A and B are shown apart, each in its own frame.
Chain A
């Protein structure tokens, strides 16, 4: 595709459930980033992949959050035992390389935990 895509666009779940959020980066981009944006705030970094490996996961809030990128393209952010405080827009971005200073963002997945 032409840009970064994310699915689903909206996800409503109940407290305690497991969710998966998907990101398709721009074709050929080796670096992929996940951010979380809470209402009224700027995005906050979660995790960054270079290829298949997580180069920096220092932004993951706790061990309920996990992300994978097994083939170096599509990435899945996984949240176990969701809590109401996890409600936010989850944004994915990609860049051509890790040294590239331009990150292109997807439209985000709005997660609501009831």
Chain B
């Protein structure tokens, strides 16, 4: 199975907050990431958090990290239709340089 797990689908109304969750298995991961992928487009790095941090805020995005539970979340405030996309959680294990991705969460924003 995958080392990084995400729920498949999330639907929210425009203006609401979205919370996308992720669990990972490598406790030695140094960085954890959120990428966005729109249809037919490449992966766009949204934000990342260093493993010694609990929270990082960047405009409408808030990342929360619970190292004890190996749980990462991405909160999008005031979700817009343009936020509709697939969101991937990823980690870089301490032993390597490559990203290990989850299966992605498809976010659908209803007007």
Contact = CB atoms under 8 A, between A and B. Distances in A.
Chain B interface extent, by class: 20 to 34
B96 A101 contact: no
B45 A102 contact: yes
Interface of B: 2, 4, 30-31, 35, 41-45, 48, 88, 90, 92, 96-104
Q: Which of B30, B41, B101 has the most CB of A within 10 A?
A: B101
A93 B99 CA distance: 10
Chain A interface extent, by class: 20 to 34
A98 to B, nearest CB: 5
Contacts of B41: 107
Given A101-B48, A101-B92, A107-B41, A59 B98 contact: yes
A91 B35 CA distance: 14
Contact of B42 (A44, A55, A101, A107): A107
B37 to A, nearest CB: 9
Nearest to B40: A107
Interface of A: 4, 31, 33, 35, 40-45, 48, 55-56, 59, 91, 93, 98, 101-108
A1 B96 CA distance: 28
A102 B48 contact: yes
B40 to A, nearest CB: 8
A56 B97 contact: yes
Given A56-B96, A56-B98, 5 more contacts: A4-B42, A42-B4, A42-B101, A42-B103, A107-B41
B92 A45 contact: no
Given A35-B99, A48-B98, A56-B97, A43 B43 contact: yes
Nearest to A101: B31
